[in-house]
Amino acid sequence: MGWEEFSKNIRFVVGVGERVKFRTDQWCGDSPLQLTFPSVYGTASNKEASVASSLERLGIEERRSWNVHFIWRPNDCVDEFLRTLGSNLPPTENGDRMRWKLTKNGDFDIRSFYNKLRNPMPIIFPWKEWCEGQVTEYLVATFGDYFTDVKMYIEERSFRRFIEACLEETVIVYVDHLLIQRNYIKEDTIERMRLDEEVLMDFFREYLTVSKVENRVRIMSDLRELASAESLDTFTLIYTNILEHQPDCPPEVVEKLVGLREGIPRKDAKEVVQECKEIYENSFVDGNPPKAGFVFPKVKCLSASKGYLWRKLT
């Protein structure tokens, strides 16, 4: 996922034309010219030319006109191609602009792209590769290339909001797969979680403030501590601390993590979960469930049981 995915959702409004590729960017019609006129594209003398390089001005006061070069004149498609260009001559020489196809006004919107990425794509989380550190390191490397491309086409404020949304989605997916995986949590699992926190912290604070990154990644650290707790008192203490800054963290999270601990007797596990359920219920203000945060409402493995639990507690 990179510029190729992002570019499917944009089209360009050409002004000067220096930042828009003549054949490979979408600026003329519903698709790039290389797809609309593939036979013409094959005869182009410069396939990477900008729109600006394909325009000329014959006089100071004259309007610009097209000046497109071919290796040879291939067929009658060229005539249709030139007619298409004639009806799409840039009317001004202002700066090139990007229009976002997922919104009505053409302005880039974080939520629209977030939903576009999140909804259609199943996310694969291979356990073996994750334990070896390959998943998180590959992810940040991909993000690095991706952000470099995206940054060229959206304003700084929107760019930072977009990165923040990517970090949040990363944390959500991470928590979800931690809770649904079927392997027992052992020392190497805990160490892998700690290293992943460091990788994400180091990467995202190149783009966001340290406090914002820490605020988003903190739940990963909290769940790592919860997953490594050794006694009832430790479980309840850590869970109480989590509720201070993630008040909507349901006790099912504790239940799932306790179930992934090989050495905890069933009786003790039930006691831990029951104690945490009482802590959660007692944290309600005037009997009202806590305000939803950015993580747990979107963790898929919790959605099926959340309604039942809240009905039971309220």
More confident residue, 37 or 111: 37
pLDDT score recorded for residue 233: 93
pTM here? 0.64
Angle at the Cα of 48 from the Cα atoms of 46 and 51, rounded to 5 degrees:
95
- Residue 252 reports pLDDT greater than 50: yes
Beta-carbon count within 10 A of 147 CB:
17
Per-residue pLDDT band at 151 (split at 50, 70, 90):
confident
In the block, tokens 């009202």 appear at: 288
The backbone torsions φ and ψ at residue 156, rounded to the nearest 5 degrees and listed phi first, read -60, -45
Give the helix/strand (H/E) hosting 273: helix 266-282
Answer yes or no: is pLDDT of 38 > 80. Answer: no
Output the CA angle 256-257-262, nearest 5 degrees. Answer: 110
Beta-strand relationship, 10-13 and 97-100: antiparallel
What type of residue sits at position 14?
Answer: V
Residue 153 has pLDDT above 90, yes or no: no
pLDDT at 110 (0 to 100): 64
The rounded percent of the chain whose pLDDT value lies above 90 is 29
What is the percent of the chain where pLDDT is above 70? 82
Q: What is the mean pLDDT of the segment spanning 260-265?
A: 88
Helices (H) then strands (E): counts for the chain: 14, 4
Residue-level pLDDT at 83? 84
Distance between CA atoms of 174 and 299, rounded to whole angstroms?
A: 9
Query: Which CATH number, 2.60.40.10, 1.10.1660.10, 1.10.357.70, 1.10.40.30, labels domain 101-313?
Result: 1.10.357.70
Residue 4 confidence (pLDDT): 67
23 pLDDT higher than 90: no
The Cα 281–Cα 239 span in angstroms is 13
